[in-house]
Amino acid sequence: MLWYRCAMHPLIETLRAAVACLPRGLAEHIEGVVAEARRLALLHGVDEERAALAAWGHDIARTLSPSELLAEARRLGLAVDPVEEEAPILLHGPIAAALLSRDYGIDDAEVLAVARYHTTARAGMSTLEKVVFVADKIEAGKVRAEPALARVRQLADRDLNAAILEHLGQHLVEASRRGWPLHANTVAARNHLLLARAGRGQD
Ligand SMILES: [Fe+2]
Ligand SMILES: [Fe+2]
């Protein structure tokens, strides 16, 4: 077992212990995302340990209430745009990234970007970001709660961009039905992937 423990990212154990203190449902979600992120990392050729580390950390601020998210964002000096004021849940990604850097000493910019943008996506995501973004949407508990995500899961193994476009399309329909504003990063992410698919831009 020693070789395996040496291969594991040293901060994973620290984050795993922090996750164990979160409410059970959230901890189970995060464990599911880690498993999916490891699986997708191997399929799509990104570092499994970095994917696992980002997955362990992505939801560490998920238990904060809307008012706590707004207060914490201000404490951390994060810019809060009007859409985030309206939907503070979007801030649990940027706040997680700030905490992973400040409190856990993570300095891998790509891992921090995974946490930061997992709530909105963004144009030009790295493959690592895409792996964990998709893993977050297709873990078993999420798919049980939102059966339409099974389509995202079907696409994820062979085409991460198609899986993300499917998820963003579903989000667009839901946002339109419920009258939610769309975050600028979400619109930019979808346009970026659609244009790349049409051959008008690189991904
Ligand atoms: Fe999240
Ligand atoms: Fe999550």
Structure confidence by residue, pLDDT tens digits, 134-183:
999 999 999 999 999 999 999 999 999 999 999 999 999 999 999 999 99
Distance between CA atoms of residues 1 and 121, nearest Å = 37
- For the chain, report the end-to-end CA distance as a whole number of angstroms: 39
- Identify the nearest ligand to the CA of 116 by its number: 1
Distance (angstroms) between ligand 2 centre and the Cα of 111 equals 14
The pLDDT score that the predictor gives to residue 7 is 63
Q: Give the pLDDT score at 5.
A: 44
In the numeric block, which tokens belong to residue 182?
């769309």
| DSSP-derived secondary structure for 6-20 | HHS-HHHHHHHHHHH
Q: Which two tokens stand for residue 19?
A: 């996750």
pLDDT at position 9 is 79
Can you list the residues of the chain whose pLDDT is less than 70?
A: 1-7
Taking Cα atoms as reference points, which of 134, 171, 170 lies closest to residue 153? Answer: 134
Ligand 2 centroid to Cα of residue 119, in Å, is 8
Instruction: Take residue 119 and report the two structure tokens written for it.
Output: 């709530």
C-alpha 75/C-alpha 90 separation (Å) is: 16
Tell how far the Cα of 137 is from the centroid of ligand 1, in angstroms. Answer: 9
Residue 30 CA, ligand 2 centroid: distance in Å: 6
Rg (CA), the chain: 16
Look at residue 23 in the predicted model and tell me its pLDDT. 97
pLDDT tens digits for 139-151? 999 999 999 999 9
Q: Quote the ligand 2 centre to 25 CA distance (angstroms).
A: 11
pLDDT at res. 200: 84
Residue 40's pLDDT is what? Answer: 98
CA 50 – ligand 1 centroid, Å: 17
The ligand placed nearest to the CA atom of residue 28 is: 2
Q: Which residues surround ligand 2, an ion (CB under 5 A)?
A: 59, 136
Sign of CA dihedral 136, 19, 47, 98: positive
